[in-house]
Amino acid sequence: MILEVQNLHLSFKGVKALAGVGFSVAEGEFFAVIGPNGAGKTTLLNVLSGVYEPEKGEVVFLGESLRGKSPQARARMGLGRTFQGLEIFRGMSVLENVKLGAELALPGYPMALPRAEREWRLRAWAEEVLDYLHLSPFRHAPAGMLPYGLQKRVEVARALAGRPKLLLLDEPMAGLALEEKQDLARFLLDAREEWGVTLLWVEHDLRAVLELSDRVLVLSYGEVLYYGPPEGVKKDPKVVEAYLGQG
């Protein structure tokens, strides 16, 4: 197990955002978290990446407890993250965004090398990632000036460039056209295949989730409604009642 989450609790001013959430993600898995608005999905990602500290419970990543570790320390351990909405570096070029991410991938950004050589290695790897995500023609464009779909892809590129072992994606498909969704799905599956990235994604597009994911966790009001293979999601009476509605 690459990630083990045990009994997470977190509340904001009395509102329980997470109430005893526990699950585990296997290496190489495509793991989905779904649920209605306010279910605690983004809160869960924020706890995993270290933006929030849970009140109770434990997150174990690669066999090591993450308690008290800062977001940047977790990033260096191989925990990548993209955000809901656009949290790229808008004033930087696409290439700079990806290079910043790539610094996590090069073991220790070898300080012994001359600076030009270090930059050059970063550049070579960043170009590979750009090429992979079909972003090469936009490398020098300010990231904030690109259309929405491309900006989303830049964020995925930045996160993938860091060679994370586990990548947390917060609604990567929100607001994308069908074709862009298909492209992104292909990129993610390829990344898993080629670089061995384990993927944990929060997504609203139920069809995509059920088609792509190996296992699904359904949250509602901070509690686990369902945890298992995608085929079972639509059959589970609790999920149908809380999330899908009667058809």
Partner 1 sequence: MYALSKRLTDAFSRRFARAVRETYREDEAYASTPLGRLALYAFLLLLLLLPLLLGPYPMYVATLVAIGALSALGLHLLVGGAGQISLGHAAFMGVGAYTASHLTGPLAPLGVLLGGGIAASLGLLLGLPSLRIKGVYLAIATLAFQFLADYAFKTWEAVTGGIRGRTLPPPEVLGLVLDTPERLWYLVLLFALPLFFYGKRLLMTRAGRAFRAVRDNDLSARVAGVDLTRAKLLAFALSAFYAGVAGGLLAQLYKAVTPEYFPLSVSIQYLAMVIVGGAGTVLGAVLGAFFVLLIPEVLNGFVGALGPEYAAQLAAWRNVAFGLLILAFLVLEPLGLVGLWGRVRDYFRTWPLPY
**91 or 196: CB nearest partner 1:** 91
Tell me how far, at minimum, the Cβ of 176 lies from partner 1, in Å.
19
Tell me how far, at minimum, the Cβ of 100 lies from partner 1, in Å.
5
In terms of Cα–Cα distance, which of 35, 10, 78 is closest to 226? 35
Residue type, 4: E
Cα–Cα distance, 161 to 228 (Å, whole number): 30
Tell me how far, at minimum, the Cβ of 88 lies from partner 1, in Å.
7
**How are beta strands 215-220 and 223-228 bridged, if at all?**
antiparallel
Tell me how far, at minimum, the Cβ of 114 lies from partner 1, in Å.
11
**58 or 127: CB nearest partner 1:** 127
Tell me how far, at minimum, the Cβ of 73 lies from partner 1, in Å.
9
Residues lying near partner 1 in the complex (CB under 8 A) = 49-51, 70-72, 75-76, 81, 83, 87-92, 96, 99-101, 103-104, 109, 115-116, 118-120, 123-124, 127, 158-159, 162
**87 or 241: CB nearest partner 1:** 87
Q: Which residues of 18-43 are buried (b: 16+ CB within 10 A; e: fewer)?
A: bbebebebeeebbbbbbbbeebbbbb
List the structure tokens of 49.
Answer: 């990446």
Cα–Cα distance, 141 to 94 (Å, whole number): 6
Cα–Cα distance, 48 to 6 (Å, whole number): 12
**How are beta strands 30-34 and 215-220 bridged, if at all?**
parallel
**81 or 152: CB nearest partner 1:** 81
Tell me how far, at minimum, the Cβ of 211 lies from partner 1, in Å.
28
In terms of Cα–Cα distance, which of 198, 205, 247, 238 is closest to 219? 238
Answer whether 104's CB lies under 8 Å from 76's CB.
Answer: yes
**124 or 178: CB nearest partner 1:** 124
**54 or 230: CB nearest partner 1:** 54
